[in-house]
A and B are shown apart, each in its own frame.
Chain A
Amino acid sequence: MKFKTKLSKVDIFFIPIVLIASLILSLVVFFGNSDTPSAVCVYVQGKLEYSEKLPVSKKIYLYKTEESAKQHGETKWFDCLQADMTIEIDGRSVRVEKEQSPRHICSQRGWFTTPNLPVLCEPNSVLVIIESREDNDFIVPIGVRFNG
């Protein structure tokens, strides 16, 4: 089925409107976020596995195998991970320090501080988010070792 391969009048009208609207909304999401960060939450396969009140300086270790977890004195491991994973919290900043994935999108994101903007680590099924809510249920941290 043939369709126009050159810019049409609709394109000239549609493209700038979408461009300007998305640009403004992107700026609002990334720079207009006034929420106060209250906690870092780590979800594995949609289940909250760890949360910690901010500010704090810690590293969270998620282990893939039972052997690896036991080696480090931990009791939980996650089969869905591609390899062991490290999440670092430094004050109010968080980053995925080490992970195994085809393109390393998660760790390449680097440090992030914006609340309610999750970092999704696929195919590890891990979601890290700085939440701004005040009513965090703080569960027993898993795979956590304090710096130093």
Chain B
Amino acid sequence: MGSSKQIRRITTLAMFLALSVLLHYLESLLPVIVPIPGVKLGLANTMGLIVLYFFNRRDFVAIGFLRVMLVGLLTTGIFTSGFFISFSGWLLSTLIVLILSNFKVFSIYSLSACSAILHGIGQVACSAILYSSIYMMAYTPIIVLSGLITGILVAFLSSLLIKQLEKTKLFIN
């Protein structure tokens, strides 16, 4: 890959990383609809899905990891319980996306819904471990339900953005 293409690639990825952190911040300004930890829209995931679509799995993992670290630094702090809860959610959701993306039968809707569901389950499981309370797992059904709904919404938004970005020819090397 030529150096100008490499620079363009890194710049574009950095832009998506910045946008994902910004979306995470903007979402935190929205009023809480369901006051249960782990239930959230997850707008930042649109950037992750776009990166996975236009780039590759390695970039998808890198952007997601850096987003969790940056958001941790800006909000909860690194290596706090809040950070570990957030990190475990990201880890599980990324793993499921990496597995499912190997199978062509799964669309953006399945990928996003499974990612959101596993993100919530990861967070609840980590809370259950950190607080030694198996009762935290009682939230699993509501986390699955909310993850499914928000995952579909995020997939719909991402598919609209992907269509528009494809028209711009921005990612054609």
Contacts and interface: CB of A to CB of B under 8 A. Distances in A.
Main secondary structure of the interface of A (DSSP, over half): mixed
Given A1-B57, A108-B35, A18 B135 contact: no
Interface size class of A (residues with CB under 8 A): 35 or more
B136 A120 contact: yes
A132 B36 CA distance: 21
A57 interface: no
B108 A15 contact: no
Interface in A81-105: 102-105
A125 B162 CA distance: 39
A19 B145 CA distance: 6
B61 interface: no
Given A8-B107, A15-B152, A103-B28, A117 B37 contact: no
Given A18-B144, A118-B136, A10 B105 contact: yes
A9 B145 CA distance: 20
B125 interface: no
A7 interface: yes
Nearest to B29: A103
Interface in A1-35: 1-11, 14-15, 18-19, 21-23, 25-26, 28-30
A141 interface: no
B110 A122 contact: no
Given A14-B110, A19-B145, A105-B37, A5 B32 contact: no
A39 interface: no
Main secondary structure of the interface of B (DSSP, over half): helix
Interface stretch (B3-11, B12-20, B79-87, B88-96): B79-87
A74 B59 CA distance: 52
A72 interface: no
A45 B159 CA distance: 41
Given A15-B152, A25-B141, A105-B37, A10 B162 contact: no
A8 B141 CA distance: 24
Counting chain B CB atoms within 10 Å of each CB, the highest count among A29, A105, A118 belongs to A118
Given A5-B159, A110-B35, A123-B76, 13 more contacts: A3-B52, A3-B111, A5-B108, A5-B158, A5-B163, A11-B110, A25-B140, A43-B131, A46-B131, A105-B35, A118-B138, A120-B127, A129-B135
25 contacts: A3-B52, A7-B107, A8-B106, A10-B106, A14-B110, A15-B109, A15-B113, A19-B148, A22-B142, A22-B145, A23-B145, A25-B140, A26-B141, A26-B145, A29-B141, A43-B133, A46-B130, A46-B132, A108-B35, A109-B35, A116-B135, A118-B131, A118-B138, A123-B81, A129-B135
